[in-house]
């Protein structure tokens, strides 16, 4: 390489460095702001998390204090006075309030609280189905079997969170309508389901036997 070429390379490199320093002086503040935003954002997240945790603990303490009473009416009143700071907390609170109201004999108000949760499309499906299931249970003596069947069938669709429990209720409605064969068939299907719990399987088996059916029709002796 000639001296001229070497000189040109040195000048070119110097110009590059000069441009770099100029850009740092001109735009370096952007990096500083970015660092501040990143650190500030992390601090804000920590603060929000701490606030959320504190609110959850406060709500939990209030709920525990409300449930400490042995009197159903007092528990319902105490729970009703609590205000949750989040949608999730409000949903859990409404479910607890409904249970206390039902225990205190205020079933109609309890059903209203549960239906409010069940119809809230912003809530997770599991909460909505739990609320609807409990509301139907409280209306056993006030809602016609046909209406309860329609709603339990919606809850009993394959893949639904409470599908098997809803199927159990449908079997009980079959019994209520003097259709024991349909109930036995439905209960056998519950027992054969992959997701059935031990308790539910035992309950279904006991009802089948009580109805005079057999758990496994293929194993039944020939008459």
What is the tens place of the pLDDT at every residue in 191-216? 999 889 999 999 999 999 999 998 87
Q: Is the per-residue pLDDT at 1 higher than 70?
A: no
Q: Is the dihedral of CA 138, 72, 101, 122 positive or negative?
A: negative
Compute the half-sphere exposure of residue 65: CA atoms within 13 Å on the CB side of its CA. Answer: 10
Extents of the domains making up the chain: 144-218
162 CB-near residues (< 8 Å, 6+ apart): 129, 130, 133, 155, 156
As a whole-number percent, the residues of the chain with pLDDT over 90 amount to: 41
Rounded to an integer, what distance in angstroms lies between the CA atom of residue 159 and that of residue 195?
10
At 197, list the tokens: 């719990």
- For the entire predicted model, the pTM comes to 0.68
Rounded to an integer, what distance in angstroms lies between the CA atom of residue 47 and that of residue 43?
6
Rounded to an integer, what distance in angstroms lies between the CA atom of residue 205 and that of residue 211?
10
**pLDDT 10s digits, 128-174:** 999 999 999 999 989 999 999 999 999 999 999 999 999 999 999 99
> Mean pLDDT lowest for which of 28-32, 78-82, 215-219?
28-32
pLDDT at 60: 72
Confidence of residue 10 (pLDDT cuts 50, 70, 90): low
Mean pLDDT of all residues in 15-27 = 57
Neighbours of 142 (CB within 10 A): 11
Could you tell me how far CA 177 lies from the centroid of its own chain? 33
**pLDDT 10s digits, 36-51:** 455 555 655 665 565 5
pLDDT at 54: 63
Mean pLDDT of all residues in 123-129 = 90
Rounded to an integer, what distance in angstroms lies between the CA atom of residue 94 and that of residue 112?
10
Q: Is the per-residue pLDDT at 189 higher than 80?
A: yes
Could you give the 3-state DSSP secondary structure of residue 107? helix
Q: What DSSP designation does 142 have?
A: T
Helix (H) or strand (E) holding 13: helix 3-67
CB burial of residue 131 (10 Å; 0-12, 13-18, 19+): buried
Confidence of residue 52 (pLDDT cuts 50, 70, 90): low
**pLDDT 10s digits, 71-110:** 878 888 887 777 777 777 778 888 888 888 888 888 999 9
């Amino acid at each position: 390489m000639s001296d001229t070429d070497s000189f040109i390379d040195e000048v070119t490199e110097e110009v590059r460095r000069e441009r770099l320093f100029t850009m740092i002086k001109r735009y370096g503040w952007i990096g500083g702001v970015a660092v501040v935003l990143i650190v500030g954002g992390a601090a804000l997240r920590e603060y929000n998390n701490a606030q959320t945790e504190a609110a959850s603990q406060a709500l939990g303490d209030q709920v525990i204090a409300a449930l400490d009473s042995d009197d159903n009416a007092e528990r319902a009143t105490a729970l009703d006075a609590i205000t949750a700071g989040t949608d999730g907390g409000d949903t859990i609170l409404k479910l607890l309030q409904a249970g206390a109201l039902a225990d205190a004999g205020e079933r109609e108000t309890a059903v209203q609280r549960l239906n409010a949760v069940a119809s809230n499309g912003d809530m997770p499906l599991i909460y909505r189905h739990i609320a609807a299931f409990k509301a139907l249970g409280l209306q056993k003596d006030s809602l016609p079997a046909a209406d309860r069947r329609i709603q339990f069938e919606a809850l009993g669709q394959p893949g639904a969170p409470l599908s098997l429990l809803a199927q159990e209720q449908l079997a009980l409605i079959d019994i209520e309508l003097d259709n024991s064969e349909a109930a036995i068939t439905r209960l056998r299907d519950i027992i054969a389901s992959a997701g059935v719990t031990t308790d539910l399987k035992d309950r279904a088996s006991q009802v089948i036997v009580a109805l005079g059916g057999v758990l496994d029709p293929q194993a039944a002796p020939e008459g």
